[in-house]
Structure 1
Amino acid sequence: MTATAFGQDSTALQVIAGHDLTGKETIVTGGASGLGYETALALATAGARVVLAGRDDAKGEQAVKALRARTGNEKVVHRHLDLASLESVTTWARKHSATGKPLHILVLNAGVMALPLIRTVDGFESHFAVNHLGHFAFTIGLLPSLRAAGAARVVSVSSRAHRRSDVIFEDPNYAHRPYDAWEAYGQSKTANALFAVGLTTRYIGHGITCNAVSPGGIKTGLQRHMSPQEITSRGWGAPVPSGWKTPEQGAATSVWGALAPELDGVGGKYLEDCAVAAPWTQDDNDSLPSGHYLPRAVDPDRADRLWTLSERLITDSGHPL
């Protein structure tokens, strides 16, 4: 990995110390809890206007109160967003872009994991829909605001779990193949990384860059769909399992990706531990070490193919981009 002033033990507040985001507009999906909350806390501490975009309005308003109290920043708000509904996503993005406000930082943080086979209202498998397609459509709808910023950064939260599956372009929604929850999650996390490549390739000329982030292992609400037995069997029972991070540490790389001067004009990278990670070229994907990624997760040809597939799936569902 590249050397930086921060590392695996750094926290989001340490990364943002000394930065002034007064007058900057930011959005964090899933910002009411877990990594999203810690990311929003850091951005609010630096004076940014922070929009928490999420499905649970009660939790969102509670987070707003807590963040305002902790930071003294009254420019923290919650707005309802359901990433499982393309109607919700596209309507939200269009309304925001219609305000003419620039959008300087967009953190695509929300996600689901280890779900049984559930299809969204639009007919998509839930991991692929929420973790990738919803964020894809959301970002495309916000392009006018991102362009207006002059230099905008998008952070796409991926995971080391991308090793579990490439994007299966012929059947991303498990219409014809047996369903596996962890494979589906892995596919969506690979898509998150490829999206960073595709977005940067298309819009870096407009001042928009996007990098993927692996936050590391963190105990958050992401594990809520797992049974206690499965959590225990995987060795994840402790409040902070061995080798895992706290939410404050897990959010550090998202914040670093959003504002590190080393990343000015840089996109399409895979970040971990507040650094650009290194490719893992050995055959054993299951032992993918931290600080590394599989090269297929940043492959430009796969990124182009995913972009085309995503546009088609969303348009065919009746929600033109």
Structure 2
Amino acid sequence: MADRITSPFGAKSTAREVVAGHDLSGKVAIVTGAATGIGVETARALADAGAEVIIAARKPELGEEVANQINEEVGMKRVSFGMLDLSSLEAIRHFAHRWGDRRLNLLINNAGVMACPLSRTVDGLEMQIGTNHFGHFLLSVLLAPNLVDGAAHSGHRSRLVSLSSIGHRRSPVNFEDPNYNTRPYDKWEAYGQAKTANSLFALGFDKRFKDKGVNANAVMPGGIMTPLQRHLPIEEQRALGWLDENDQPREGFKTTEQGAATSVWAAVGDELEGIGGLYLEDCNQAVPWSKEAPWVGVMPHALDPEAAERLWALSVETTGAGA
């Protein structure tokens, strides 16, 4: 990877360090799932740099509280809440309809569900791929014209950031039965499939919109203790080796401020201007996955152009958008 894209930042960098020196005045950003976890820090960093930020989430009380807190910190109203339930295609269409023809410069697809028991969205999709991928697919395609318009009027390319995970190594996308209608459900396999889909989506989106002024990249934020773990009992987290004997996160886990750094770099980093279709990690382009370093890197199935095209076709069929 002689031409690997890197930055001055790394695994321990924070979102505020990454955004320092950037002026996002006049830019508009949507961050999904920014009522909790690293989404909060992503929204905070972008607002600190002058962007107007919309927290798109499904819990109004939390979203409004975070928005008010950040506005108080920056000394003006830059952050607002928008109701968005990614587990409902109708709700996503409603959000996009309310958004109308407003220009958009940054779309951070941050929201996610991890390792939940088998459940289904209101549209009958398996919850993890239904929310993490299909929901974000519909949202992104509906808002794509707004991103294109944002690029045309700002003079700077718009960016889409799709949050993936090292969990993608657990499974490629199963195109025969992505929603576990016939095969046995495995919560970690389902999570891996959804995170692979998040990476492949960035490839597909970038291919279709890079010539219209919009780039898309996938991001592995790192291991962070957030409400994403809500479905995992403490015993399972111990068994996975995430917690030490005092039930504290083991070395290697990031703070939420550090966990948001790569998302923010994907949104503002000068090194990525005009570049898309990558999988980013620790504020750099990820290296290929290897058995010698199993907790970092990207596997080939998450950057497979043919799989990305199959996924796009499946997503069009599933959501009815993006043909």
The question of a shared fold, defined as TM-score above 0.5 by the shorter chain, is answered with: yes
Higher deviation after alignment, 72-81 or 193-202: 72-81
- CA offsets 1:25-60 (integer angstroms, 9 cap, x no match): 000001111110000000010011000000011111
The alpha-carbon deviation at position 279 of structure 1 amounts to: 1.9
| Equivalent of 1:295 in 261, 280, 300 | 300
The alpha-carbon deviation at position 235 of structure 1 amounts to: 2.6
The alpha-carbon deviation at position 232 of structure 1 amounts to: 2.0
Task: Confirm or deny: 8 A CA contact 2:70 2:79 kept in the other structure.
Answer: yes
| Equivalent of 2:310 in 305, 312, 316 | 305
- Aligned partner of 1:179 in structure 2 is 185
- Aligned partner of 1:20 in structure 2 is 23
The alpha-carbon deviation at position 236 of structure 1 amounts to: 2.4
- Aligned partner of 2:168 in structure 1 is 162
Distance 2:30 2:16 in 1: 17
Helix, strand or coil at the partner of 2:258: helix
Matching of residue 213 in structure 1 with residue 236 in structure 2: no
| Equivalent of 2:46 in 43, 46, 50 | 43
Amino acid at match of 2:44: L
- Aligned partner of 1:136 in structure 2 is 137
The alpha-carbon deviation at position 226 of structure 1 amounts to: 0.8
- CA offsets 1:71-108 (integer angstroms, 9 cap, x no match): 22312100110000000011211321x2x321111100
The alpha-carbon deviation at position 167 of structure 1 amounts to: 0.2
Distance 1:239 1:130 in 2: 29
- Aligned partner of 1:76 in structure 2 is 79
Higher deviation after alignment, 129-138 or 236-245: 236-245
Matching of residue 254 in structure 1 with residue 255 in structure 2: no
Helix, strand or coil at the partner of 2:23: coil
The alpha-carbon deviation at position 288 of structure 1 amounts to: 2.4
Matching of residue 190 in structure 1 with residue 190 in structure 2: no
Distance 1:227 1:3 in 2: 37
Amino acid at match of 2:265: W
Query: 1:26-105 alignment to 2 at 5 Å?
Result: 26-96=29-99, 98=100, 100-105=101-106
TM-score scaled by structure 2? 0.93
Helix, strand or coil at the partner of 1:279: coil
Helix, strand or coil at the partner of 1:143: helix
Task: Confirm or deny: 8 A CA contact 2:5 2:271 kept in the other structure.
Answer: no
Amino acid at match of 2:161: V
- CA offsets 1:87-138 (integer angstroms, 9 cap, x no match): 0011211321x2x321111100000011000011100000001100000000
Amino acid at match of 1:91: H
Helix, strand or coil at the partner of 2:35: coil
Helix, strand or coil at the partner of 2:82: strand
Poorly superposed stretches of 4+, deviation over 6 Å: none
Distance 1:214 1:258 in 2: 14
Distance 2:75 2:316 in 1: 41
Helix, strand or coil at the partner of 1:149: helix
Task: Confirm or deny: 8 A CA contact 1:28 1:50 kept in the other structure.
Answer: yes
Query: 1:262-281 alignment to 2 at 5 Å?
Result: 262-280=271-289
Distance 1:61 1:95 in 2: 18
Amino acid at match of 1:75: R
Distance 1:83 1:49 in 2: 22
The alpha-carbon deviation at position 296 of structure 1 amounts to: 1.3
Amino acid at match of 2:135: G
Task: Confirm or deny: 8 A CA contact 2:138 2:322 kept in the other structure.
Answer: no
Task: Confirm or deny: 8 A CA contact 1:44 1:73 kept in the other structure.
Answer: no
The alpha-carbon deviation at position 66 of structure 1 amounts to: 1.0
Distance 1:253 1:140 in 2: 23
The count of residues paired between Structure 1 and Structure 2 equals 312
Helix, strand or coil at the partner of 2:161: strand
Distance 2:123 2:61 in 1: 25
Amino acid at match of 2:307: R
| Equivalent of 2:233 in 205, 211, 227 | 227
Distance 1:259 1:244 in 2: 24
Task: Confirm or deny: 8 A CA contact 1:45 1:73 kept in the other structure.
Answer: no
Helix, strand or coil at the partner of 2:295: coil
Distance 2:89 2:140 in 1: 12
The alpha-carbon deviation at position 241 of structure 1 amounts to: 2.1
Distance 1:81 1:26 in 2: 15
Query: 1:240-251 alignment to 2 at 5 Å?
Result: 240-251=249-260
